[in-house]
Structure 1
Amino acid sequence: MFLQRSAFAARRAAFNPIVKRSFTSSFIRRADKIDPLPGQPDKHVKPFDEIKTESDLLPPGAAPGTVPTDLEQATGLERLEILGKMQGVDIFDMKPLDASRKGTLENPIIVKSFGDEQYAGCTGYPADSHITLWLTMSRERPIARCTECGSVYKMEYVGPQDDHHHGHHGYEEPKTFADFVKPEYR
């Protein structure tokens, strides 16, 4: 009897809520607030070629009372990436490294970098023949070799040319086995 009564009460509560509310939703779409499609001009979007300073990467913001889009609120590198994608430019060069061959000391796999240090993940040759091993390359040590498959990677600095690379203020990078390899074995 107790079981029947609780099942009946649960059924009644599921179909007959205590507070009755109607659910409505609406939205207003204004033609002037739609984000531009790739290749279309917009009065608030500066073309990628005209971006010269950090102030060019500040967005106009959303109109009061509206929810901002990514284009209206993104700043800095995120805004630069969005503007580049809108014009078909891959800002951060996110395509995978060349995995069609094994890098050698004479012909290494090139890894481009805008910074002083770059990490690259090696999955072996042929691709995915071992787990991903992360290699660290720097401007002082631009060549790294995978300990699993022996593939060689070389960092190529493509950052600003006026970047004056100074040491790390007395910091000396720790030695590795690569420091003790005789030059004739390279």
Structure 2
Amino acid sequence: MKKVAVLGSGRGTNFLAILKRAREKNWNVDFLAISDKAYSGFIENAQKENVKFKVLPQKRDLLNEELLEILKDFSPDLIVLAGYMRILPSFVVNAFKGKMINLHPSLLPSFKGAHAIRDAYEYGVKWTGITIHFVTEELDAGPIIAQFPVIVREEDTLESLEKRIHDVEHKFYPQVIEEVLKVF
């Protein structure tokens, strides 16, 4: 059985999409959900779906050390960032080098950072999308695994574009995770 740790901070919709695909395709996976927020959709979804979870301490000086210990104890084959809104320190990234992937809501290397969808929309791009990449010490700069484009329509609002990008995330991130697990 493979082990997958999923880190999230927000609503947990990508996490639900991953779990749905894992169940539909009968992945032989033991999941652990880890969050920096005790009261989040991510943790609520873990509870509803009967997935083991851990909540990191709120003291910043303890958070990353605790994360490293939890990950070492779990010994995951793969670590999946699914809306985890903290920058991981090098000692965590390097401890799991090549075993950690992230989903970013733009076609990297364009529009790095926390507000990628808004930044792309305000810039006026005609195409944006998602990038799935390995996590490295440099923010949103690791080797790209896959990218999926999303056209920006004339009638798009920021909200409609965000929804369409999230739909693409929910469709393709679980598929890519499934393929990555085949080689781990």
Shorter chain as normaliser: what TM range? Answer: under 0.3
Normalization by structure 2: what TM-score? 0.21
**TM-score, structure 1 as length reference:** 0.20
- Greater relative contact order structure (CA < 8 Å, 6+ sep): 2
| Greater strand fraction, Structure 1 or Structure 2 | 2
The structure richer in helix per residue is 2
